[in-house]
Chains A and B, each alone.
Chain A
Amino acid sequence: MDERRIRVLVAKPGLDGHDRGAKVVARALRDAGMEVIYTGLRQTPEMVAEAALQEDVDVVGLSILSGAHMALVPRILELLKANGQEHVRVFIGGIIPDEDVPKLTELGVVGIYGPGTLTDHIVNDVQQAVYG
């Protein structure tokens, strides 16, 4: 009956075509009991924000390998806010150079994960971010 589950949108904005990492993370979140909405490749920021709204997610996970994160992420955060979803926690996985990490954190990104991150670590962070 009264059952609440963490809902996560896993999206790949931008043009790179590798979604293996996104799928591994989606699977790990699923195995931790979360409901993961997977949207597939080549999403525009508008598509990501729209899906986050319709699905009423608690968390958005973005996988970006293309180097376009400084263009895509601020735009997505802006759209989430414009839709009234400023409470949604945003995580990023992929290839993010060290010097961009503080800038993204400043913008409100909760966690940034590079290659080699343990999935348990991500699962913990997501649970922490939602349940506090």
Chain B
Amino acid sequence: MMCSKRYMVSHTPDTSLSHSKRLANSVLAGERLALARLLSQIENDSPIGRQALGELFPSTGSAYLIGITGAPGTGKSTLVNRLAHYYRHPPSDEEPYQVAIVAVDPSSPFSGGAILGDRVRMRDLAGDPGVFIRSMASRGSLGGLAHATGRVVQVFDAAGFEIILIETMGAGQAEVDVASLAHTTIVVEAPGFGDDIQAVKAGILEIADILVINKADRPGVENTERALNMMLQLAHPTERVFRHHGRDEMFAEPVSPNLDEVPWTPPVLKTIATEGRGIPDVIAAIADHRAYLQKTGAREYSDRIRLQAELDSLLQDNLVARWRTSVSKRKYQQVLDLIVQRELSPHQAVDVLLDGSQLHEILRSDSFAADGEEQ
């Protein structure tokens, strides 16, 4: 892609170093334009963004991260709006929190463009300097968040936001990345979505620390409530150690939280977010869950798991990038041609590309094996 003029500056290494430090300092000083700029750098995975995040990283780790996920149209944005509003305007004896919102919407798989519409439901928060809303496009990521969401959250954390609400794109059954990022994960349901068997399937309901049935004035709310409660009764109260799904962990850590405590059972709460009904109950449930994590040590533990997941995924990305520089495009294309012609399996191709196995050796040993079978 072409670069816009104001990004061009970033390519001279000397100025970029001081630029990133200046940017980080401005963010720590609470400058909102600097914060917005840095978030773009992070989203674009630019060298400046990486360096600035390095400067800011020691200041992270104190924000409380709340994930909100659920199917499209269940009312996630409206709920986020209400929760943020509550944290900004708590009952008189409490201090308001600084609140950041990260809202993810899908990128088009064809054009790469996106319509980010979550702000439409968040107009109540406009004009409040204690709130910062940032919309993110998923940019091809499939887990419900964008690849850079975790790092965007770290920037908000360092910038002093105490509560960070992370709204996923409309999620189906497997978009569970938010649970490994957030401390408390809220899954939002609405009446009329599927029967009881949907509720016992693996995936999104499993990751809920709090289940919210929004639009609770709609018909069918009793059925949804019954199905969710049944699901919770069927569930063994297991300790949920978050594994980054599908991938091998590089080095599993045998540390685990204090299991003497009774496992957390997700409460099922009803809200009508458009009218603000049920919101104090959700806030109270978040506070309960936060206290529970504190008591069991699960918060430190999940922090470790989360950072491990980030480390592993960065390692993978960087190993791939490093490897790419070591292999010629021509060799890669040759090997791909052989796969397409069914002369090499993808696994064998990996051996050739990665271990430097000689192509002719593999091909020869293959044809020997095939001959052997025929005889």
Contact = CB atoms under 8 A, between A and B. Distances in A.
Given A2-B46, A6-B4, A40 B120 contact: yes
Contacts of A55: 36, 134-135
Contacts of B240: none
A55 B229 CA distance: 40
A47 B172 CA distance: 32
Contacts of A3: 1, 44-45, 139
Contacts of A37: 116, 119, 135
B2 A54 contact: no
A120 interface: no
Interface string B4-15: 111100000000
B126 interface: yes
Q: Interface SS of chain B: helix, strand, loop or mixed?
A: mixed
B45 A38 contact: no
Scoring A3, A37, A43, A130 by chain B CB atoms within 10 A of each residue's CB, the highest score goes to: A37
A38 B119 contact: yes
A116 B37 CA distance: 35
B39 interface: yes
Contacts of A36: 113-116
Given A3-B1, A53-B32, A131-B2, A35 B113 contact: yes
Nearest to B136: A35
B236 interface: no
A45 B295 CA distance: 47
Interface residues of A, number: 39
A26 B40 CA distance: 20
Contact of A27 (B4, B36, B115): B115
Contact of B5 (A32, A51, A56, A132): A132
Interface of B: 1-7, 32-33, 36-37, 39-40, 44-46, 107-108, 111-117, 119-120, 123, 126-127, 132-135, 137, 139, 317, 321
Given A4-B1, A56-B39, 5 more contacts: A35-B137, A38-B119, A40-B123, A54-B132, A131-B3
